[in-house]
A and B are shown apart, each in its own frame.
Chain A
Amino acid sequence: MLPNSSQVRGWIMTSNRPSLPTPGSTGSDLSSSTSSNNSDNNQIPNLHSLQNSSSQLSIKSNSWRASVNFGSKGVSVADSEGFSISRREINDDDARLVYVNDPLKTNETFEFCGNSIRTGKYSVFTFLPRNLFEQFHRVAYMYFLIIAILNQLPQLAVFGRGASILPLASVLFVTAVKDAYEDWRRHKADKIENNRLSSVLVNDRFQHKRSKDIQVGEIVKVSADETIPCDIVVLSTSDPTGVAYVQTINLDGESNLKTRYAKQETLSKVPEKDVISGLIKCEKPNRNIYGFQANMEVDGKRVSLGPSNIILRGCVIKNTDWVVGVVVYAGRETKAMLNNSGAPSKRSRLETHMNREIILLSFFLVTLCIIVSACAGFWLKRHQDELDIMPFYRRKDYSKEQVENYNYYGLGMEIFFSFLMSVIVFQIMIPISLYISMELVRVGQAYFMIRDDKMFDAASNTKFQCRALNINEDLGQIKYVFSDKTGTLTENKMEFQFASISGVDYSGEKIEFYGEQGAYNIQVDGQVWRPKMKVQVDSKLLKLSKTRNDTKSSKEIYDFFLALAACNTIVPIVVNTSNPNEKLIDYQGESPDEQALVYAAAAYGFMLIERTSGHIVIDIQGERQRFNVLGMHEFDSDRKRMSVILGYPDSTVKVFVKGADTTMFKVIDESLNLSVVKSTENHLHSYSSIGLRTLVVGMRALSIAEFDTWQTSYEIASTALMGRAGLLRKVAINIENNLSLLGASAIEDRLQKGVPEAIESLRKAGIKVWVLTGDKQETAISIGYSSKLLTSKMMQIIINNNSKMSCKKSLEDALITSRKLINVTRASEDDESSVALIIDGTSLVYILDSELEEQLFELASKCAVVLCCRVAPLQKAGIVALIKNRTDDMTLAIGDGANDVSMIQMADVGVGISGQEGRQAVMASDFAMGQFRFLVPLMLVHGHWNYQRMAYMILYNFYRNALFVFILFWYVLYTGFTLTTSITEWSSVLYSVIYTAIPTIVVGILDKDLSRKSLMTYPQLYGSGQRKESYNAKLFWVTMVDTLWQSVVVFFIPLLAFWESDIDSSSLGDLWTLAVVFIVNIHLAMDVIRWTWISHASIWGSIIATCICVIVIDAIPALPGYWAIFNLASSGLFWICLLGILIASMIPRFIVKMFMQHCKPCDRQIAREAEKFQNAMEITRNGEIEMNLPHR
């Protein structure tokens, strides 16, 4: 089957993001991640990406969204394509050759990049041109520039040179200073990085060398707790087996230790003594931090290298004295540097709507300009004969030899010029400065979100993070929340709860092990070692596990716990405590499930105390036993299981397998003991129905022949250069069969604090919460109940089908039922009971990307709750797209794991939980925080505020600029339609820079329409954002009518008052300037809800600053308006005019506002009044829901 190009394209692009499950994530999230686009051929797309890596870097999320295929069919098609690529060899064109310990030869033909890094963008010389170039990429600046250039043409010079350049210059200057500062900080950081010392092998001795001088091909030695300076292939380590432990927290944020291995062929060599030489052939630099493909020729032998043999720049060596490695990628070609790119930018809904209104405003602008130029044309035409003599026109220039026209280019050109001139004069009709103010406001809002101590997670010590700076206000308009379950609703801190061992359920009484004696410990060299985490144990099982006899049940319990302790990738680390005689064993691993299992095994007396690549040591009831780890098949999401081949001290060999029940029962030999299998299945069902995560454990003893065949194929597979993952999987499938069932474990993943309350609040706020999880249906439903997502009154519609036809039928049935039910509820007016839809991933495969989508959407939009279980990562995105493409409603996706990345990027707002599962979700998200419950303050409080503030600020900016333009326009009608402004050009320029800029920004950052308390108490207040109450087309038009009225008042009151008087144009201009600035600021003052000292200072300060500026401008003798303001201020008429303008312009607004407040109060208004007048009474009565109170 040939895939169509779009599918392949989509797949390649997705797999290149750092988001998908990775081959390294061994056993992680066994029961929850059911990703169908699996990880095992992850390296293949990377190879592919080598060929077109440049194009991939530029692909933005939008194009990715467009071409991706959400059903899993497309993915499986792409899979096969992947395999075909995998069979290709790395050809020499695509490879980089590194001669070990021979940097000269390595760098001879190809200039590999050195290790010095430059994150700084500019140098002293390139700063100016490059920064300007980058700044002018923005449309706003181009607009400024074009207007400024137009103004430089002598025919069009409306403003003086200086005045016309000033707005652009000031904006450019501010941005340039900001950029320069940031760049300076980057340079400083680079310098520190580049000058760090590391040991490099030079002439067979390790010498200190600056990090920036390291070259590809050199051998470096890194000691414990040092940071790796560049990407190195491990040659040898202090560990005799060649293991090195690294922490990758700088790279992907995962704090647990990961293991890296040196190859057998090199680990015994000592660089100072032995001559190390060889040739590494590896991929060209790419950004996949989880993939590496290479081979190495050492001593004539060819060995393959994989991701476990490379340590990347930025990692820290832990628990290993030293590591020696050869540099393969350096400097900006390291994977860490290649991954240094920002999050994709989204545009907020409000801004999209605003742009629509800006188009309207530009229509206004063009209309005004056409009116002016047309009138100018008529005027010139009518006075054509008089132009020569008119003292104020004087077309003819008699001073020259020949009498010629002065500055007159014919009627047509004059009309055209006056059009362009009016564009220059009325330019601020399009509020370009608004874009800059919005950026500043968003920075301010982000500051307050980050600093909010209600969104600080003490448990993980994480602050709220604002990664995207341009969608703050979207948080106030969310209609749908899509949430992951594991790690998002739940803590992802696994606790071992129950076990079912060979058909016997051990879920009885628990003993609390909180005393010192009770906890299991072992004696090592007179010291007490105990596990770091205490586990509650079942007393019966504990007793059974301690008795060692040869009864069948005892043996089975022994095998079961041995499997738990051995079949994993956990690394035990011994940690000192304050007591010198006591040490703690900390189990470090990538999967919290595995950690829980190992801790449980330890509590029952099977304590894992040592793991190297070749063996493990387990303390079994005080007796130390060493097992050889002969092979390990890591977890992949296709098999959904992992296995370990253990060599016993008595040289028997057994394979232990653990995995998800669905795949495990397929490989268990049921004929061995059917009743055990049946009862285990029952136990599994009951475990999962109370929300536990289950795993099934199996085992098989291997005969020598079996083992030998396995070993040969395992070795072939693990040294294969291409398609290794696929080969290994085949080997694994061959050995993981005919297992005997040992038992099953149940792990609890507890709900996070405050989740039910948070969901309750969100639903009250009119937000639909959908849960998308990889877990089983039973688990999902039980979590649904415990998180109050589902209530007993709800009717559940479960869609669980295996074919398209049945899907269609159940969708149709469900639609009919839901319609009926909704009619019933409408009649009974009982809004409590509603419909919950529960649908699984298999059904979604048939529904998404087919004509059934429409029906699903219709059904889902009728349901109060939607639970999707067993969904693959791409399906999550598909469900988000289902809503996003069909409605205008805003969506928010929240998740913590790699499997949520696609959904986070798809949704309008993506929120990452910076929790246990690494940082991939956070890297892809717009906002990141520690706990699910912070969603409530984030959306209901900050989202609400941000939306109200931003919406008001946009409208206000439209008003402010349009008002000024209208005043200029009215005046132009009285100047013979020539673009004269009586307001001085400096005031025109300073109007949006000094006179009125700061208050809007301050209000946009600081004003609060309602207190946090009211917003939390009445989540329904959030509805104002969803209904777009603060910014819509109606408000825009109302504002524009108000603007028109105010401009008429501002312009015509002085005009009529000074008609037929001896006022000069500068004085009248000053009056207009002051009047417009006063009313613009008073207008704002009328809308400010919370007057802090900052708002007082900014508003009154702006008025005072304006007065000072006007006075200063009029104190310059070189300007025509010298001293005008002083003469003006000495006349009573001026003051009377000013007062009259202020009141008359505000009165209609005031009347309408007061009338609406009284007769049609909005919710926010009432809540505000309640806050002020009845606060104590009302809020304490209803305000039980305080999100940050400790729960349970």
Chain B
Amino acid sequence: MNNQVTNGASKSKRISKKPQYSRFTQQELPAWKPILTPGWVIASFLAIAFLFIPIGLVSLFASERVVEIVYRYDQDCVPEMYRGNVTAYIQNSLTNKTCVENITVPKKMDPPIFVYYQLDNFYQNHRRYVKSRSDKQLRSAAYEYSTKECEPKERVNTTPVTWVPIVPCGLIAWSLFNDTYNLIMEDKVLDINKKGIAWKSDKNVKFGSNVYPKNFQYGAPIGGGKLNESIPLSEQEDLMVWMRTAALPTFRKLYGKINTSLEAHDTITVVLQNNYNTYSFGGQKKLVLSTTTWIGGKNDFLGIAYLTVGGICLFMALNFILLYVFKPRPLGDPSYLSWNRKTVS
């Protein structure tokens, strides 16, 4: 009996509960403890400056190289007599929508020249709008009836009981942009290539080759462009471009590409069909011809931003140099510790 007590006591002593030592549990893992010394601070400012200023210059230069023609036509293309009542003009399918205008090429434009249409004040990112599409339906004929998200352009009631779906359904497709442009230069029609304007991924995967438009733009009101019901969606590149909803209320969309170069001072005659109704909500329409560089279209903002940041960094580097020279502080000097400072003062 006593034996057991002894054993128990000595046993519990032998098994130490001392935590096993490891660098992890003692929080002593090898670690890199960077401290930014004055040298590092100045160096990093300078490094940023020397990186950013050239990038800024290069992007400004690239943006400068871009030649861009922007022509706003929504006002000009309304005949004088309809200026007072634009909506009546645009909604009337009988009125002549053709509009001819001349534009001049300011500088030499090298191919490919991109033809865009630009809409202003058109909220393609509006909540009601972006939701109103059925990606399933676009992809495969099997999902023709999945139109739940597409209200109110969901379906067409043939009889009170049965209904047939609209393909492609939804507000986005319904409001397909349908102005057309023909460019004529020196009596020759400039060929606008409308192939390859949509993303390859959209053509190959997202829009099904067995999905054909059905009941599209059936019944009033008509939102915009019509689709050829014999061409599958995977070939309808204008639709694909339109269905890639824009991020911002001012946006451009690719209309086509011109593969010939345009010389400076060339005059181009634009013959356009002004079909699309932006008048009812105060939107604007523009035709844009633009070359591109690696930075995309014409945009000085990034270049300026880079130059500003680079300049600030350069300025800060100088400031810090001055600070370190005129008000040096030895690193890790214990006399700067608050309790030491108190006794000194």
List the interface of chain A (C-beta within 8 A of B): 224-225, 318-319, 321, 383, 386, 389-394, 396-401, 406-407, 447-448, 450-453, 456, 458, 461-463, 573-577, 974-976, 978-980, 982, 1006, 1008, 1012, 1018, 1020, 1023, 1053, 1055-1069, 1089-1094, 1117-1120, 1122-1123, 1126-1127, 1131-1133, 1136-1137, 1139-1140, 1143-1144, 1147, 1150-1151, 1154-1155, 1157-1159, 1161-1163, 1166-1174, 1178
Instruction: Say whether B31 contacts A1090, CB under 8 Å.
Output: yes
- Set of chain A residues within 8 Å of B154, measured between Cβ atoms: 399
Of the listed stretches B72-80, B104-112, B155-163, B181-189, name the one at the interface; the rest are far from the partner chain: B155-163
Instruction: Say whether B313 contacts A463, CB under 8 Å.
Output: no
Instruction: Say whether A1173 contacts B332, CB under 8 Å.
Output: yes
- Set of chain B residues within 8 Å of A391, measured between Cβ atoms: 122, 129, 171, 174-175, 223-224, 277
Q: B250 contacts the other chain (Cβ, under 8 Å)?
A: yes
Instruction: Say whether B152 contacts A397, CB under 8 Å.
Output: yes
- Set of chain B residues within 8 Å of A1018, measured between Cβ atoms: 337
Closest Cβ–Cβ distance, residue A452 to chain B (whole Å): 7
Interface CB pairs A-B, < 8 A, 12: A319-B5, A383-B281, A399-B155, A975-B127, A1018-B337, A1020-B337, A1064-B247, A1089-B33, A1117-B206, A1132-B296, A1139-B55, A1166-B336
Instruction: Say whether B336 contacts A1161, CB under 8 Å.
Output: yes
- Set of chain A residues within 8 Å of B32, measured between Cβ atoms: 1090-1091
Q: B2 contacts the other chain (Cβ, under 8 Å)?
A: yes
- Set of chain A residues within 8 Å of B6, measured between Cβ atoms: 575-577
Interface set, chain B 165-214, CB cutoff 8 A to A? 171, 174-175, 199, 201-202, 205-206
Interface set, chain B 253-290, CB cutoff 8 A to A? 253-254, 277, 280-282
Closest Cβ–Cβ distance, residue B163 to chain A (whole Å): 9
Instruction: Say whether A393 contacts B128, CB under 8 Å.
Output: yes
Q: In the complex the two chains form, what is the Cα distance from A913 to B22 in whole Å?
A: 26
Q: B338 contacts the other chain (Cβ, under 8 Å)?
A: yes
Instruction: Say whether B152 contacts A1068, CB under 8 Å.
Output: no
Residue of A nearest to B280 (CB): A389
Q: In the complex the two chains form, what is the Cα distance from A192 to B223 in whole Å?
A: 75
Given the interface pairs A576-B6, A1140-B309, A1173-B332, the reply to whether A406 lies near B152 with Cβ below 8 Å is: yes
Closest Cβ–Cβ distance, residue B287 to chain A (whole Å): 13
Given the interface pairs A452-B26, A1092-B30, the reply to whether A1133 lies near B296 with Cβ below 8 Å is: yes
| Known pairs A393-B128, A461-B16, A1158-B329 / 13 extra A-B pairs, C-beta < 8 Å | A224-B4, A319-B5, A389-B277, A393-B129, A396-B152, A461-B17, A462-B17, A463-B18, A577-B6, A1056-B301, A1117-B206, A1147-B312, A1166-B333
Q: Out of B123, B220, B309, which one reaches A392, CB within 8 Å?
A: B123
Q: In the complex the two chains form, what is the Cα distance from A391 to B12 in whole Å?
A: 81
Q: In the complex the two chains form, what is the Cα distance from A1052 to B252 in whole Å?
A: 18
Q: Out of B1, B35, B174, which one reaches A224, CB within 8 Å?
A: B1
Closest Cβ–Cβ distance, residue B222 to chain A (whole Å): 11
Instruction: Say whether B332 contacts A1170, CB under 8 Å.
Output: yes
- Set of chain B residues within 8 Å of A400, measured between Cβ atoms: 157
Instruction: Say whether B305 contacts A461, CB under 8 Å.
Output: no
- Set of chain B residues within 8 Å of A224, measured between Cβ atoms: 1, 4
- Set of chain A residues within 8 Å of B30, measured between Cβ atoms: 1092
- 9 cross-chain pairs, A with B, having the tightest CB-CB distances, nearest first: A1170-B332, A1169-B332, A1123-B201, A978-B127, A391-B175, A397-B152, A392-B129, A1065-B247, A1068-B247
Closest Cβ–Cβ distance, residue B311 to chain A (whole Å): 11
Closest Cβ–Cβ distance, residue B208 to chain A (whole Å): 10
List the interface of chain B (C-beta within 8 A of A): 1-6, 9, 12-13, 16-21, 25-27, 29-36, 38, 41, 44, 48, 52, 55, 59, 116, 118, 122-130, 133, 135-136, 139, 151-157, 160, 171, 174-175, 199, 201-202, 205-206, 219-221, 223-224, 244-254, 277, 280-282, 294-297, 299, 301-302, 305-306, 309, 312-313, 316, 320, 323-324, 327, 329, 331-334, 336-339
Residue of A nearest to B128 (CB): A393
Q: In the complex the two chains form, what is the Cα distance from A1065 to B251 in whole Å?
A: 10
Closest Cβ–Cβ distance, residue A661 to chain B (whole Å): 36
Instruction: Say whether B5 contacts A976, CB under 8 Å.
Output: no
Instruction: Say whether B280 contacts A386, CB under 8 Å.
Output: yes
Most B CB contacts (10 A, CB to CB) among A224, A401, A1062 go to A1062
Q: Out of B16, B29, B160, B337, which one reaches A1093, CB within 8 Å?
A: B29
Instruction: Say whether B306 contacts A1059, CB under 8 Å.
Output: no
Closest Cβ–Cβ distance, residue A1058 to chain B (whole Å): 7
Closest Cβ–Cβ distance, residue B27 to chain A (whole Å): 6
Instruction: Say whether A453 contacts B19, CB under 8 Å.
Output: yes
- Set of chain A residues within 8 Å of B247, measured between Cβ atoms: 982, 1058, 1063-1065, 1067-1069
Q: In the complex the two chains form, what is the Cα distance from A396 to B174 in whole Å?
A: 14
- Set of chain B residues within 8 Å of A1161, measured between Cβ atoms: 329, 336
Q: In the complex the two chains form, what is the Cα distance from A462 to B15 in whole Å?
A: 11
Q: In the complex the two chains form, what is the Cα distance from A1155 to B327 in whole Å?
A: 12
Instruction: Say whether A1062 contacts B18, CB under 8 Å.
Output: no
Instruction: Say whether A389 contacts B221, CB under 8 Å.
Output: yes
Closest Cβ–Cβ distance, residue B207 to chain A (whole Å): 10
Instruction: Say whether B29 contacts A1092, CB under 8 Å.
Output: yes
Instruction: Say whether B246 contacts A1063, CB under 8 Å.
Output: yes
Q: In the complex the two chains form, what is the Cα distance from A394 to B129 in whole Å?
A: 9
Instruction: Say whether B139 contacts A980, CB under 8 Å.
Output: no
Instruction: Say whether B124 contacts A392, CB under 8 Å.
Output: yes
Q: In the complex the two chains form, what is the Cα distance from A1000 to B152 in whole Å?
A: 45
Instruction: Say whether A1006 contacts B27, CB under 8 Å.
Output: yes
Instruction: Say whether A458 contacts B171, CB under 8 Å.
Output: no
Q: In the complex the two chains form, what is the Cα distance from A774 to B178 in whole Å?
A: 94
- Set of chain B residues within 8 Å of A389, measured between Cβ atoms: 221, 277, 280-281
Given the interface pairs A389-B221, A1133-B296, A1143-B48, the reply to whether A1065 lies near B130 with Cβ below 8 Å is: yes
Instruction: Say whether B332 contacts A398, CB under 8 Å.
Output: no
Residue of B nearest to A1178 (CB): B334
- Set of chain B residues within 8 Å of A318, measured between Cβ atoms: 5
Closest Cβ–Cβ distance, residue B40 to chain A (whole Å): 9
Q: In the complex the two chains form, what is the Cα distance from A979 to B35 in whole Å?
A: 43
Q: Out of B19, B206, B253, B296, which one reaches A1131, CB within 8 Å?
A: B296
Most B CB contacts (10 A, CB to CB) among A321, A399, A401, A1132 go to A399
Residue of B nearest to A157 (CB): B131
Q: Out of A393, A398, A1158, which one reaches B219, CB within 8 Å?
A: A398
Closest Cβ–Cβ distance, residue A1118 to chain B (whole Å): 5
Closest Cβ–Cβ distance, residue A1155 to chain B (whole Å): 8
Instruction: Say whether B151 contacts A1065, CB under 8 Å.
Output: no
- Set of chain B residues within 8 Å of A399, measured between Cβ atoms: 152-157, 219
Q: In the complex the two chains form, what is the Cα distance from A1056 to B304 in whole Å?
A: 11
Instruction: Say whether A979 contacts B296, CB under 8 Å.
Output: no
Residue of B nearest to A464 (CB): B19
- Set of chain A residues within 8 Å of B336, measured between Cβ atoms: 1161, 1166
Residue of B nearest to A1064 (CB): B244
Instruction: Say whether A453 contacts B246, CB under 8 Å.
Output: no
- Set of chain A residues within 8 Å of B252, measured between Cβ atoms: 1060-1062
Instruction: Say whether B2 contacts A573, CB under 8 Å.
Output: yes
Q: In the complex the two chains form, what is the Cα distance from A1127 to B198 in whole Å?
A: 11
Instruction: Say whether A451 contacts B19, CB under 8 Å.
Output: yes
Closest Cβ–Cβ distance, residue B218 to chain A (whole Å): 10
- Set of chain A residues within 8 Å of B1, measured between Cβ atoms: 224, 319, 321
Given the interface pairs A406-B152, A982-B125, A1168-B35, the reply to whether A461 lies near B29 with Cβ below 8 Å is: no
Closest Cβ–Cβ distance, residue A1137 to chain B (whole Å): 7
Residue of A nearest to B32 (CB): A1091
Instruction: Say whether A980 contacts B295, CB under 8 Å.
Output: no
Q: In the complex the two chains form, what is the Cα distance from A888 to B41 in whole Å?
A: 39
Residue of A nearest to B251 (CB): A1062
- Set of chain A residues within 8 Å of B13, measured between Cβ atoms: 461
Q: In the complex the two chains form, what is the Cα distance from A1008 to B31 in whole Å?
A: 10
Instruction: Say whether A448 contacts B175, CB under 8 Å.
Output: no
